[in-house]
Amino acid sequence: MPLTVRGVRIDDTFAEAFGMRATAVIITADSLHWARQAALSMTGFATSVIGCGCEAGIDHELTGKQTPDGRPGVRVLLFAVSTAELQKQLQTRVAQCLLTSPSSACYAGINGEETLRLGNALRYFGDGWQISKRFGEKHFWRIPVMDGEFVCEATTGLTKQAVGGGNLLILGRTPQTTRAAAEAAVAAIRKVPDVIAPFPGGVVRSGSKVGSKYKGVPASTNEAYCPTLRGAVRTALDSETKSVLEIVVDGLTAETVASAMRAGISAIIKLGPRRGATRISAGNYGGKLGPHHYYLRELLP
């Protein structure tokens, strides 16, 4: 049976998530503005592994006291379904978005059980002018570019304990109040370390189901949660629900995903049904998609 907390209905269901590979890099620049510009470019078109190859986002900003070179920066997380794909996406995005960004540098952002190539893969752009440097156990490459040099650590860590696909479905009476609830949830989730919400602004309106009536299409619209299809399909919506939004959460561990979902739920409940959502649910496929099941009852504040 569903619960009601402060006027917000909480469905008796679970979010189903799956294992992923993940890595992290620290991006620095002469200013936080340029560090963020590089990070935003690097994490562009990285909302879903279904069509983007990886899911990526900014974890948090860093002061000069928190970075290897004493400059402001940001930490970026990247997730993929395989080590090979994660290496491919990392290499391409660092090359095209960080190497090209003024004053940027790139460092390992995680220690993992394995490593992925950073500077080791990009050093050839130096065309023989690149310089290898070692400081203790750290290995760096200095690659000449037109505004000076691009400093890039040789490798970064890889973790196989990451989880992708944690999710919340947010239902409301109007698009405006539903969006307000989603924004409040994303703001709370962004305060949780080691997680990202990879969709635009952390929110996705085109929630999907596995499979399609069309051959070769891996995912399609989740018609049970589409308000305009109510009456034409077997709907999961009541008559007062006019809008549904989803938040997807990826984390470096199963525990960080749970913490992020809990923070999101708490923020939605705090906002209340008049200004925000009337109901919270989650997407699952009967336990067939992934081994990580996040029961909403267990995540209530």
If one counts the domains in the chain, the total is 2
Last residue of a domain, one of 97, 132, 159: 159
Q: Which domain holds residue 111?
A: 20-159
The pTM of this model reads 0.94
Domain boundary among 124, 143, 159: 159
- What DSSP assignment string belongs to 30-57? SSHHHHHHHHHHHTTT-S-TTTSS-EEE
- Asked if 154 and 178 sit in the same domain, the reply is no
Centre a 10 Å sphere on the Cβ of residue 222 and count the other Cβ atoms it contains. 18
Cα gap 11→168, rounded to integer Å: 11
Q: Which domain CATH number covers 147? A: 3.30.70.520
**12 in the same domain as 130:** no
Q: Render each residue's pLDDT in the chain as its tens digit; 301 residues.
A: 679 999 999 999 999 999 999 999 999 999 999 999 999 999 999 999 999 999 999 999 999 999 999 999 999 999 999 999 999 999 999 999 999 999 999 999 999 889 999 999 999 999 999 999 999 889 999 999 999 999 999 999 999 999 999 999 999 999 999 999 999 999 999 999 999 999 999 999 999 988 899 999 989 999 999 999 999 999 999 999 999 999 999 999 999 999 999 999 999 999 999 999 999 999 988 877 789 999 999 999 8
Whole-angstrom distance, CA of residue 46 vs CA of residue 16? 20
Same-domain check for residues 126 and 172? no
Instruction: Answer yes or no: do 128 and 174 share one domain.
Output: no
Instruction: Assess whether 105 and 178 both reside in one domain.
Output: no
Q: How many other CB atoms sit within 10 Å of the CB of residue 295?
A: 14
257 and 238 in one domain?
A: yes
Residue tagged 């037109």 (tokens)? 146
